[in-house]
């Protein structure tokens, strides 16, 4: 049994911490939201009054997990403020900090550096698999940090996830996460554009699916997250685009990819364009939708309608 402080008990952190309790670990938790604390207490997590109290309670040999909305939250919590000590300052020497939030690669590296300077050890361990994966302990973890620290965290990660990949040193878990999600964002837009083009050309959704899903156009965005209802009955398109993976989260992850693109100077035109497209989607119609709902934006912004197109072609042909 390991004693664990788990901070950030929201949509993801709450069920992840509950799975650690189910596996027999002692989990001391904190979140700023009373509703999150209530749910955590019901799941057997020992709720305390602050993050610092949780970290103090684990003592030496414990592990501290964070699952926060952004990198700012992680750095601020590690560092503390003028009036409040940070988590690093109150932890027993050599404590292992595992941050599972999705944050920028340079923020993750800064968090590692802060932990090391304070005499602690750390891993970046972002996840994919969403709330369902957090609840069912089927998350994928992408981990950055040292070999010994990874080995120590592995049994805990295995109680919350199914696929755990050690991607390399500090920040490389976050790097793997944003590279994967950049592929995903671009390919979901590509699949949406192909379906709308197919519609305009008179192709049924099923016919395009039957061809592309068995040909070189095959991708997760098509065969699992198919953006039209019918061909894949479990995809969000069949339930009015309820997430799934929300467009707002895709926009956030593509923003982190853009930060990394700026940092490295890579000529990633499609990644940058995908960010623009999802930023607009998340700010408008797609706010509460799965990111596959981008197909409705493609459809709405497409002109002219097919009958106008065919009549103009007839006119041009006649001229």
What stretches of the chain show up as alpha helix (H) in DSSP?
13-22, 34-42, 51-58, 71-79, 87-90, 105-117, 130-136, 147-160, 172-200, 205-212, 220-223, 247-264, 269-283, 294-300, 306-318
Distances in Å between the alpha carbon of 172 and those of 107, 124, 175, 300, 312? 12, 8, 5, 38, 53
Q: How many residues does the chain have?
A: 319
| Residue 14 beta carbon to ligand NAD: minimum distance, rounded to whole angstroms | 7
Is residue 102 at the binding interface for ligand NAD, with CB under 6 A as the rule? yes
Is residue 54 at the binding interface for ligand NAD, with CB under 6 A as the rule? no
Comparing CB distances to ligand NAD, the nearer of 9 and 194 is 9
| Residue 216 beta carbon to ligand NAD: minimum distance, rounded to whole angstroms | 29
Close Cβ partners of 32 (under 8 Å, ≥ 6 residues apart): none
Is residue 78 at the binding interface for ligand NAD, with CB under 6 A as the rule? no
Is residue 29 at the binding interface for ligand NAD, with CB under 6 A as the rule? no
| Residue 313 beta carbon to ligand NAD: minimum distance, rounded to whole angstroms | 45
Is residue 32 at the binding interface for ligand NAD, with CB under 6 A as the rule? yes
Interface residue with ligand NAD, options 59, 61, 69, 284 (CB under 6 A): 69
Q: Is 269 annotated in the active site? A: no
**Which single residue brings its beta carbon nearest to ligand NAD?**
10
106 to 145, contacts with ligand NAD by CB under 6 A? Answer: 127-128, 130-131
Catalytic residue among 22, 177, 252, 279: 177
Catalytic residues: 177
């Amino acid at each position: 049994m390991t004693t664990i402080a788990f901070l950030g008990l929201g949509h993801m952190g709450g069920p992840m911490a509950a799975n650690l309790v189910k596996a027999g670990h002692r989990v001391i938790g904190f979140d700023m939201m009373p509703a999150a604390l209530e749910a955590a207490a019901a799941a057997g997590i020992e709720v305390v009054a602050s993050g610092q109290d949780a970290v103090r309670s684990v003592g030496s040999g414990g592990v501290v997990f964070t699952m926060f909305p952004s990198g700012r939250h992680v750095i601020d919590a590690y560092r503390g403020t003028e009036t409040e000590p940070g988590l690093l300052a109150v932890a027993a020497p050599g404590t292992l900090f595992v941050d599972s939030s999705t944050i920028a690669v340079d923020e993750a590296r800064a968090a590692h550096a802060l932990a090391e300077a304070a005499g602690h050890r750390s891993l970046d361990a972002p996840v994919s698999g969403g709330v369902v994966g957090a609840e069912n302990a089927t998350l994928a973890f992408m981990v950055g940090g040292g070999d010994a620290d990874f080995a120590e965290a592995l049994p805990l990660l295995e109680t919350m996830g199914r696929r755990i990949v050690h991607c390399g040193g500090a920040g490389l878990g976050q790097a793997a996460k944003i590279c994967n999600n950049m592929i995903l964002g671009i390919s979901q837009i590509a699949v949406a554009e192909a379906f709308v083009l197919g519609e305009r050309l008179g192709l049924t959704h099923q016919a395009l699916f039957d061809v592309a899903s068995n040909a070189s156009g095959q991708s997760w965005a098509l065969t699992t997250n198919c953006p039209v209802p019918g061909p894949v009955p479990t995809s969000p398109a069949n339930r009015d685009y309820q997430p799934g993976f929300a467009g707002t989260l895709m926009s956030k992850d593509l923003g982190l990819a853009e930060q990394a693109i700026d940092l490295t100077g890579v000529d990633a035109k499609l990644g940058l364009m995908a960010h623009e497209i999802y930023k607009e989607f998340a700010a408008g119609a797609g706010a509460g939708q799965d990111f596959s709902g981008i197909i409705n934006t493609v459809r709405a912004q497409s002109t002219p309608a097919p009958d106008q197109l065919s009549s103009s072609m007839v006119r041009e042909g006649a001229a």
